[in-house]
Amino acid sequence: MRHPPAGLLRGAIANTKATDYRLWFGISILLSGAIVAIINIMQGDVVFATILLGVVAVLFYALIWWTHPSRSGPHISHAAAQAAAEDHDVIIYWRPGCIFCDRLKLSLGTDRHNVSWVNILRDSDAAKFVAAHRNGNEEVPTVVTGGGKLIDATPEAVRTHLQP
């Protein structure tokens, strides 16, 4: 059996997105719950199994909604964000299901309305832009100031660039 060269394997692991791991972890938890429910049905504990299957179903649909690419959220196109960028503007590239993006949105509070949000799953040019600036990875949130400078994705750093 032939093995891939070490460099190829390392590159494949490095390009795996963290959201992929979280998604599979969530799916494995849900499948485990379903298996426990089936075992309880086979043992005659139908009430507990029914409740457990209901909880598993609700969690499953919540997971699907949370990670779905078309989940609504703030979005303008990459081209529009670049065209409107000035030295004091901030552009944040994000994706649905990214807990770091959601945390940044919540932490910014009302300041989040003064930022241009670009969903990289809706805009392939934005995904290419992020990958070009993040060593080939689509790491989000990626925060860019109007001058094109990458900054830390912290609420404090974003607020500093929003102030006149």
Residues 158 and 115 in one domain: yes
How far is 54 from 107, CA to CA, in rounded Å? 33
Per-residue pLDDT at 36:
85
Residue 150 backbone dihedrals phi, psi, to 5 degrees? -75, 135
Residues 54 and 85 in one domain: no
Per-residue pLDDT at 15:
38
Per-residue pLDDT at 18:
45
Low-confidence ranges of the chain (pLDDT < 70): 1-23, 67-72, 86-88, 163-164
Question: Which domain-ending residue is among 40, 67, 94?
Answer: 67
Per-residue pLDDT at 128:
92
Residues 62 and 82 in one domain: no
- Cβ partners under 8 Å of residue 67, min gap 6: 19, 23, 96, 97
Into how many domains does the chain fold?
2
Per-residue pLDDT at 16:
41
Indicate yes or no: pTM above 0.95.
no
Position of tokens 């964000």? 81
Residue 154 resides in a domain = yes
Residue 59 structural domain: 6-67
Residues 83 and 158 in one domain: yes
Residues 42 and 99 in one domain: no
